Amino acid sequence: MKVKVYSTEQCPYCHMAKDYLAAKGVPFDDINVGEDRDAANEMIEKSGQMGVPVLDIGGDIIVGFDVPRIDAALAKGTSAKPRKVKVDALKKIYDAIVIGGSAAGLTAAMYASRRNLKTLVIAKDVGGQISVIKSIENYPGFEQVQGSDLVKSMKAQAEKSGAEIVERDAVELNEAEGDGGQKLFVVKACGGDKCEEHLCKMVILAMGKTPRSLGVPGEEGMIGRGVSYCVTCDAPLFKGKDVAVVGGGNSAIDAALVLSPLARKVYIVHRRGEFRAFEHAIAAAKGRKNVEFVLDSLVTAVSGKKFVESISVENKKTGKKSELKVEGVFVEIGSDVNTKFVSHLVELDENGQVKTGKNGETSHAGIFAAGDVTDTPFKQIVVAAGDGCKAALSAYNHVHGFESRYMVDWSKQNSNK
């Protein structure tokens, strides 16, 4: 696969991209567009950009040092061969392995088990981000529920339905072939200094998405006590209060627009002087009287006793330090998905999310996906749970060779029906 990197000598992101490719052992042509005008024109024609770096990976054009897109493009040029495994060497062949143990994964495990599929859940952290949410007010059936309580109920329900749950980190997923030529998948899961391999007929990817944190003093201790990563979940709790939104993309501006009618004051703290959000959204935020922009600035600390009371801010240009009295901090600086270990098997979008069909199917037969790890635009607990249900029922159809059809499951169902 041909790889080209259009760069300039002075660009730090160009060096980062080239170092990343080199570390992965990927050969590439380094094209200095600062010295080669024809190459610069070629780059502009390919990408529509007049900035570097631009990567051409087998015809996929990537602007900037975008690791998920680089990995996805590189994965297209690889073909993973099924591993031959000795089925007798492993204790079980599961019908389904669910990777991830939050709303999507636990719901998928429950539905798969209720369909009499032998199901294993592999999750590094059962509950994930839900576990640290102090108050959830938009999950159907509950006016208010603690995240840890909701996770506890979901886990118990999945186990009561027959699912096994192990708290390990899934690090590898490959195709496998049993002794009789049976097509299988093998999942390698590690915890501590021990790794195990598990065989299955189908896989449901439900690893979720991890919001990026600020990484500043006081942040972690105030999660659920004023620090939030979900404006849709928590905005109503801050009526009449002063809050800060940290970020400069569409999610940050959208968060400010959601908070503005509720909060007394909304600060938007952004490390740059310009935003990456859509112009119409920025204009809408500027039109709100209670929204104030704090630009070229970084949040350096979150302070408070029981709850958030203020944030420390430093202006990058002037070095001036200040304190904003706020009771809420909404961190909107993007999220990370851990899909690198499956990128050789399933198609990912430009953000590294798993592409899915309407019933949770992926580009690879036998692999399904649900929840925040997918390309659904709605990152909500109830959406993830619904996705998990669909993926599990689709997996059931797959293992039995059924076409997608109407399925009832509000009482115990016989798997042969």
Judge whether 130 and 208 are in contact, CB under 8 Å. no
Measured CA to CA, the distance from residue 210 to residue 229 in angstroms comes to 10
Q: What's the CA angle centered on 256, arms 253 and 258, to 5 degrees?
A: 110
Active site residue 71: no
Active site residue 234: yes
End-to-end CA distance of the chain: 48
The catalytic residue among 56, 234, 254, 372 is 234
Residue whose token pair is 């039109």: 287
Written as one string, the DSSP assignment of 238-299 is GTT-EEEEE-SSHHHHHHHHHHTTTSSEEEEE-SSSS--S-HHHHHHHHT-TTEEEE-SEEE
Per DSSP, the three-state class of 206 is coil
The two structure tokens encoding residue 125: 């952290």
The two structure tokens encoding residue 202: 């189908």
CA dihedral sign of residues 314, 315, 316, 320: negative
Per DSSP, the three-state class of 90 is coil
Measured CA to CA, the distance from residue 164 to residue 104 in angstroms comes to 16
* Residue closest to 369 by CA, chosen among 407, 416, 401, 337: 337
CA–chain centroid gap for 387, Å, is 14
Beta strand 169-177 pairing with 83-84: parallel
The catalytic residue among 11, 14, 200, 233 is 233
The catalytic residue among 11, 14, 230, 389 is 230
CA–chain centroid gap for 210, Å, is 5
By the 10 Å C-beta count (0-12 exposed, 13-18 middle, 19+ buried), 196 is classed as middle
Active site residue 66: no
Measured CA to CA, the distance from residue 293 to residue 244 in angstroms comes to 10
Beta strand 93-99 pairing with 291-294: unpaired
Residue 173's DSSP bridge partners are 187
* Residue closest to 203 by CA, chosen among 357, 83, 96: 96
Residue 141 half-sphere exposure, CB side, CA atoms within 13 Å?
A: 3
Q: Could you list the active site residues?
A: 230, 233-234
